[in-house]
């Protein structure tokens, strides 16, 4: 079963890259290597900051385009991993090892499989 | 043994096994009910089978196969059916195979799944009472003063999350047991306290909640015999519950611990609680539940309120504060200090708590101040404290007690 692990955190953290941020980047590389080797990794990326986000809505056939993220929040979505895990406990275990979990929050969302009826 | 008794004692265990075999809470609940309906119909004629639990599981299993066969047009149901029909363990479900020794008790899996921290705490409580306690949705709704549709919705959502997010149906691995058991104990103690210190509602249902929490406490002690904190929790609940009769007077009014008629304390529960407390404290460094049980045990040991060993109780609160700092524990410790060293010392601790403001809004905080003020005969302070407590308390029985105390203080 697949889960999307959404990494939330204060994006201000990445504004100035110091030794702490450099260590964080190293930890992420290490982590990604680990879950790739274990076969859990299905995908993942770091997202650029919300100041570069654009939100699109279509109402009555008309495109409405606004600057910024869908919702202003204290912690922003900064990246994600798509992983394969046998159950929620395994997914939680992987999420807890994401370096960003130490300074932000990880939301664990099951992917709805096409064959499963709702 | 009667069918009703078998239902009461065995339905949770049967349901737990069927959830494991069928992989679905809803299907398992449905066929467990159906199997008992068949038993109710057949057993009066055929007599109760030698191993009723095995008979019920096997009957429920055939009901499940029937149900799924009728739905096999759906592709995913066909897979479930295939899994069920080819389930090796099920094929061996004959009475002779199912002696207790070689049949696992699945209730432990069920407890850990119902009390999974990925579920809302209210849902954990409801699901535990529904599946392990066998309480009807209506009863749970009534106990928690929630409309029935809200409670039904809460249960449906929890089961959907278990299924769709795939919360595993298993006993957690050894390295996670104590963390997860802590979550289970929170749920059990919450159920107990809801019954013991209820904010309102039906008294009979509240007693049921206490009894159910104690029963669940027994189940985890039985299934995890090495977990001393589980024993501490069971002891704590038994010792509290032993005073239930004495806590309310003839007119249903609230009676303070020091004014209770101790001959009405349930000695059987006390003896069991004391023995459990001793064994929990002996075997491991004590956790918060064992310490609280030890405090409760000291009250149980005192033949009269005056004989209470408050010095020892203060010492135990000191240990508890190191394990679990919380303003409520501090408040309880302040009471113990007042009783052992004098009300003035207790009041000084309350002032300290007051400046931190963490207990603003908790009705027992001013109620304790009122009580200590009474003891030093500071009637204006007592009256003011009781007035404040009354503005915060919601439980009718407690309100009556506080009103009486307020009237006494105002009359002085």
Whether the CB of A110 is below 8 Å from some CB of chain B: the reply is yes
**At B200, is the secondary structure helix, strand, or coil?**
coil
Q: Which of A24-28, B13-17, B133-137 has the lowest mean pLDDT?
A: B133-137
Nearest to A88 among B76, B118, B172 (CB): B118
Nearest to B76 among A110, A112, A116 (CB): A116
Answer yes or no: is pLDDT of B217 > 90: yes
Q: How confident is the model at residue B139 (pLDDT cuts 50, 70, 90)?
A: confident
Contact between B89 and B106 (Cβ < 8 Å): no
Q: Find which of A85, A86, A87 to mutate to test the B interface (most B CBs within 10 Å of its CB).
A: A87
Answer yes or no: is pLDDT of A73 > 90: no
Q: How confident is the model at residue B76 (pLDDT cuts 50, 70, 90)?
A: low
Whether the CB of A60 is below 8 Å from some CB of chain B: the reply is no
Reported as a single tens digit per residue, the pLDDT across B270-281 is 999 999 999 999
Q: How confident is the model at residue B200 (pLDDT cuts 50, 70, 90)?
A: low
Provide ipTM, 2 decimals. 0.88
Question: Nearest C-alpha of chain B: how many angstroms from A89?
Answer: 7
Fold of A2-110: Alpha-Beta Plaits (3.30.70)
- Residue contact A88–B75, C-beta within 8 A: no
Q: What is the pLDDT at residue B396?
A: 80
Residue B254 DSSP code: B
Q: What is the pLDDT at residue B357?
A: 87
**At B116, is the secondary structure helix, strand, or coil?**
coil
Beta bridge partners of A6: A80, A107
pTM summary value: 0.86
**Beta-strand relationship, A2-9 and A105-110:** antiparallel
Residues contacting residue B3 through CB under 8 Å, at least 6 positions apart: B36, B39, B40, B43, B48
- Residue contact B168–A88, C-beta within 8 A: yes
Whether the CB of A115 is below 8 Å from some CB of chain B: the reply is yes
Q: What is the pLDDT at residue B148?
A: 95
- Residue contact A110–B164, C-beta within 8 A: yes
With pLDDT > 70 as the criterion, what percentage of chain B qualifies?
90
Question: Nearest C-alpha of chain A: how many angstroms from B86?
Answer: 22
- Residue contact A116–B118, C-beta within 8 A: no
Q: Tell me the angle at which helices B288-301 and B267-283 cross, rounded to the nearest 10 degrees.
A: 140
Answer yes or no: is pLDDT of B205 > 90: no
Q: What is the pLDDT at residue B201?
A: 57
Structural domain spans, chain A: 2-110
Other CB atoms within a 10 A radius of the CB of residue B212 amount to 21
Q: What is the pLDDT at residue B97?
A: 44
* Bigger pLDDT: B317 vs B255: B317
Q: What is the pLDDT at residue B42?
A: 94
Burial pattern B17-36, b for ≥16 Cβ within 10 A else e, equals: bbbbbbebbebbbbbbebbb
Residues contacting residue B33 through CB under 8 Å, at least 6 positions apart: none
Q: Given its phi and psi angles, is residue B166 left (phi above 0), alpha (psi -120 to 50 degrees) or beta? A: left
Rounded-to-integer distance, Cα B158 and Cα B160, Å: 5
Give me the total of CB pairs closer than 8 Å, taking one residue from chain A and one from chain B: 27
Q: What is the pLDDT at residue B178?
A: 86
Burial of B159 (0-12, 13-18, 19+ CB in 10 A): buried
A86 neighbourhood in chain B, CB within 8 Å: 166, 168
B80 neighbourhood in chain A, CB within 8 Å: none
* Bigger pLDDT: A117 vs B240: B240
Q: How confident is the model at residue B325 (pLDDT cuts 50, 70, 90)?
A: confident
Whether the CB of A92 is below 8 Å from some CB of chain B: the reply is yes
- Give the 3-state DSSP-derived string for chain A, with helices as H, strands as E and coil as C: CEEEEEEEECHHHHCCCCHHHHHHHHHHHHHHHHHHHCCCEEEEEECCCHHHCEEEEEECCEEEEEECCCCCCCCEEEEEEEEECCCHHHHHHHHHHCHHHHCCEEEEEECCCCCCCC
Nearest to B167 among A87, A115, A117 (CB): A87
Q: Closest chain B residue to A116 measured between Cα atoms?
A: B76
Over chain B, what is the mean pLDDT?
A: 89
Reported as a single tens digit per residue, the pLDDT across B245-270 is 898 888 777 888 999 999 999 999 99
Q: Find which of A84, A86, A88, A113 to mutate to test the B interface (most B CBs within 10 Å of its CB).
A: A88
- Residue contact A88–B172, C-beta within 8 A: no
Query: Which of B261, B127, B246, B239 has the alpha carbon at shortest distance from B192?
Result: B239
Answer yes or no: is pLDDT of B300 > 60: yes
Reported as a single tens digit per residue, the pLDDT across B84-107 is 666 655 555 544 444 454 456 899
- Residue contact A88–B165, C-beta within 8 A: yes
Rounded-to-integer distance, Cα B268 and Cα B257, Å: 19
Answer yes or no: is pLDDT of A26 > 60: yes
Whether the CB of B74 is below 8 Å from some CB of chain A: the reply is yes
Q: Residue B292: phi, psi to the nearest 5?
A: -65, -35
Q: Find which of B166, B171, B179, B183 to mutate to test the A interface (most A CBs within 10 Å of its CB).
A: B166
Rounded-to-integer distance, Cα B150 and Cα B148, Å: 5
With pLDDT > 90 as the criterion, what percentage of chain B qualifies?
69
Answer yes or no: is pLDDT of A48 > 90: yes
Reported as a single tens digit per residue, the pLDDT across B157-185 is 999 999 999 999 999 998 888 889 999 99
Answer yes or no: is pLDDT of B397 > 90: no
Whether the CB of B73 is below 8 Å from some CB of chain A: the reply is no
- The average pLDDT across A11-27 equals 94
Beta bridge partners of A9: A76
């Amino acid at each position: 079963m697949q889960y999307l692990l959404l990494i939330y955190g204060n994006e201000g953290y990445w504004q100035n890259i110091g030794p702490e941020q450099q260590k964080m980047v190293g930890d992420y590389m290490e982590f990604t290597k680990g879950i790739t080797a274990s076969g859990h990794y299905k995908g993942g990326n770091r997202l650029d900051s919300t100041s570069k986000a654009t939100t699109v809505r279509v109402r009555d056939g008309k495109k409405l385009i606004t600057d910024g993220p869908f919702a202003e929040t204290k912690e922003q979505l900064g990246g994600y991993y798509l992983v394969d895990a046998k159950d929620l406990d395994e997914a939680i275990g992987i999420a807890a090892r994401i370096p960003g979990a130490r300074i932000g929050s990880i939301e664990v969302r099951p992917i709805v499989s096409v064959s499963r009826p709702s | 043994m009667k069918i009703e008794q078998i239902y009461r004692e065995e339905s949770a265990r049967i349901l737990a096994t069927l959830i494991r075999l069928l992989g679905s809470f809803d299907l398992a609940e449905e066929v467990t009910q159906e199997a008992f309906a068949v038993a109710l119909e057949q057993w009066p004629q055929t007599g109760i089978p030698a191993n009723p639990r095995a008979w019920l599981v096997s009957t429920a299993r055939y009901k499940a196969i029937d149900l799924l066969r009728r739905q096999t047009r759906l592709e995913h149901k066909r897979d479930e059916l295939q899994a069920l029909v080819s389930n090796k363990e099920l094929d061996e479900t004959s009475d002779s195979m199912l002696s207790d020794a070689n049949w696992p008790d699945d209730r432990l899996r069920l407890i850990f799944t119902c009390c999974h921290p990925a579920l809302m705490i209210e849902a954990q409580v409801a699901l535990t009472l529904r599946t392990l306690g066998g309480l009807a949705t209506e009863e749970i709704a009534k106990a928690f003063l929630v409309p029935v549709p809200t409670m039904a919705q809460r249960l449906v959502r929890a089961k959907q999350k278990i299924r769709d997010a795939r919360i595993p149906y298993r006993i957690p691995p050894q390295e996670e047991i104590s963390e997860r058991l802590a979550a289970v104990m929170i749920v059990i103690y919450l159920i107990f306290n809801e019954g013991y210190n209820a904010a309102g509602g039906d008294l009979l249902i509240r007693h049921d909640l206490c009894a159910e929490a104690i029963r669940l406490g027994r189940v985890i002690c039985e299934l995890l015999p090495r977990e001393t904190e589980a024993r501490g929790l069971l002891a704590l609940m038994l010792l509290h519950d032993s005073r239930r009769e004495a806590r309310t007077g003839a007119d249903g009014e609230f009676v303070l611990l020091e004014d209770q008629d101790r001959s009405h304390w349930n000695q059987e529960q006390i003896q069991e609680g004391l023995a459990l407390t001793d064994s929990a404290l002996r075997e491991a460094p004590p956790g918060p539940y064992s310490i609280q049980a030890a405090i409760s045990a000291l009250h149980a040991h005192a033949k009269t309120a005056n004989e209470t060993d408050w010095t020892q109780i203060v010492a135990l609160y000191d240990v508890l504060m190191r394990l679990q700092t919380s303003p409520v524990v501090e408040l309880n410790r302040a009471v113990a200090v007042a009783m052992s060293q004098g009300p003035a010392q207790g009041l000084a601790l309350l002032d300290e708590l007051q400046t931190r403001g963490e207990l603003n809004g908790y009705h027992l905080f001013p109620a304790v101040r009122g009580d200590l003020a009474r003891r030093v005969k500071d009637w204006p302070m007592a009256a003011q404290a009781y007035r404040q407590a009354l503005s915060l308390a919601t439980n009718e029985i407690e309100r009556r007690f506080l009103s009486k105390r307020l009237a006494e203080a105002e009359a002085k």
